[in-house]
Amino acid sequence: MKNILLSTIVLVGLCAISNAQSLDTTFGTNGTITHTGIGNYFYATELPDGSVILSGDYETSSVSKAVVTKLKPDGSLDTSFGSGGKYVIDQFSDVDYYETFSKAILQPDGKLVLLYGAEYDNGIDEETISVRMMRLNSNGSVDNSFLGYSVQNVGEDNYPYGIFRLQSGKILMYGENYIMRFNENGTLDTSYANNGTRTIAFDINELNIIGSAIYLENYTQKTLVRLADESSSNTKIYNLPQNSSYYFRGNNIYIHKYLNFSEITKLDFNFDPVSTYGNNGTAIFTEYLGYDFVFQSQGSILSSDSIPNYDQNGNILSVDMAYRRINPNGTMDSTFGTAGVYKINIPENAPYNYYSYDYIHSNGKLYHLFYDKDWENNNIYLKRSNLPNEILATENATVIKEIRIIQNPVRENLILSGNLRNAKIYDMTGKETGISFEGKQTSVERLKTGAYIINAVSDSGKKINLKFIKK
């Protein structure tokens, strides 16, 4: 059974100006911030001011609640959000109900759109789920002007998996065999497909978006299916290799093929290999890189794996979380950590499990979210690592010298040292802001304060990415 919650979010951010990678001991108490009894969180959404929204649940053997929490940039609880830093739904007292929130989708006005789900499973009858789309104001209160969609007691084959915000501002929701489109106020867009719902002829495992294009994973055929937009009938197919996973980042797709060693293929939005990456689009490594990737702002990949350490009797003493970094051109960064590996040692007697959910903040630091070994405690432990500057590919470095932002941060007008073609501005989640331009300048006055990415082509035909801060 697929769960609308169990998926890891990756946040991307600006490159850190820091020294060598290490745990940040200035963070919290000796490098750790402990939040006691606030829940378990599987999704993170960064806000323009650097605050982070965590969405998930609070669960014990007798209680289940859906919870959204807001953390300040320093990792402390923002008690001005909701009630004491949290917004909670505890609709059912019956322990057979599991209540949770999906990832929060940030709107340009600072409001948050989420899915609330309550799954009923008594171990006897067929499992059902009730779902409601809702919107929170930036202060964590419910936006009652949002007329969100809801459905009650549907079977597990029909419940929604997730939501996305389209460039148009409309909201896309998908499930196993369907896509639905909603207006900005939460009402069903009946002008879309068949009264707001499009039936898909295969089982969807995951949906992703690049620009206006929609990418669906065909669960049965193990393929990625590209649609030009949510209404398009024209498709392009990419066959996923066996023993592989994939990651959408910016305008690219990374395919990680693994068995005894790792192989990474970088694709553009049209499934074509990026020839400047590795050897004609594919980088092959002599070892297995790990089970999860997060991305730095310039395109470097941080891979993670776990390495247990044993005593002479075979008992686990500790576990090393081992991180490696792959440069934007597909080469291994041998300067990262010690001999190319950065390790965080988790003792066996630590109160939290060794595995963490990782994300990169716009401050450039790598955050690690650990969970209590006793899940009923609902404690989370937050650490962060300093990261060294990325090693840019030669072509990227040349382009950055070729074109630069004249003044950064930017207030009203973005001015560049050279002409750009097909330039588009994205926020740090990879969503288009709606600003596109040609030439050396454009107005960014309407953008909210925060970090943004320009994707464009130079007059010489080179693809470039530039980062700027909007004040």
| 3-class DSSP assignment, residue 30 | coil
Q: For 454-464, what is each residue's pLDDT tens digit?
A: 888 777 667 77
Residue 4 has pLDDT above 70, yes or no: no
Q: Which residues of 120-130 are buried (b: 16+ CB within 10 A; e: fewer)?
A: beeeeeeebbb
**For position 461, what pLDDT does the model report?**
66
- The structure tokens 């930036």 sit at 138
Section 392-396 average pLDDT: 51
Q: Share the mean pLDDT of the chain.
A: 88
Section 444-466 average pLDDT: 80
List the Cα angle 87/88/89 in 5-degree steps. 135
Section 375-380 average pLDDT: 93
Q: 89-103, 181-195, 295-309, 385-399: lowest mean pLDDT where?
A: 385-399
Q: For 48-85, what is each residue's pLDDT tens digit?
A: 999 999 999 999 989 999 999 999 999 999 999 999 99
User: pLDDT category, 392, cuts 50, 70, 90?
Assistant: low
**For position 1, what pLDDT does the model report?**
31
The candidate with the shortest Cα–Cα distance to 11, out of 363, 252, 331, 328, is: 363
What is the C-alpha separation between 265 and 282, in angstroms, rounded? Answer: 4
Quick check: 9 and 330 in contact, CB under 8 A? no
* Cis status of the peptide bond prior to 409, with omega within 30 of 0: yes
Most confident of 145-154, 233-242, 405-414, 453-462: 233-242
DSSP letter, residue 220 = T
What is the C-alpha separation between 360 and 346, in angstroms, rounded? Answer: 20
What is the C-alpha separation between 408 and 467, in angstroms, rounded? Answer: 9
Residue 19 has pLDDT above 60, yes or no: no
Q: 129-143, 154-168, 217-231: lowest mean pLDDT where?
A: 154-168
Quick check: 53 and 42 in contact, CB under 8 A? no
Percentage of residues in the chain with pLDDT exceeding 90? 65
What is the C-alpha separation between 393 and 298, in angstroms, rounded? Answer: 10
Section 358-383 average pLDDT: 93
Q: Which residues of 24-47 are buried (b: 16+ CB within 10 A; e: fewer)?
A: eeebbeebbbebeebbbbbbbbbb
Section 313-334 average pLDDT: 94
* Contact residues for 309 (Cβ-Cβ < 8 A; gap 6+): 316, 317, 318, 319, 320, 345
Percentage of residues in the chain with pLDDT exceeding 70? 92
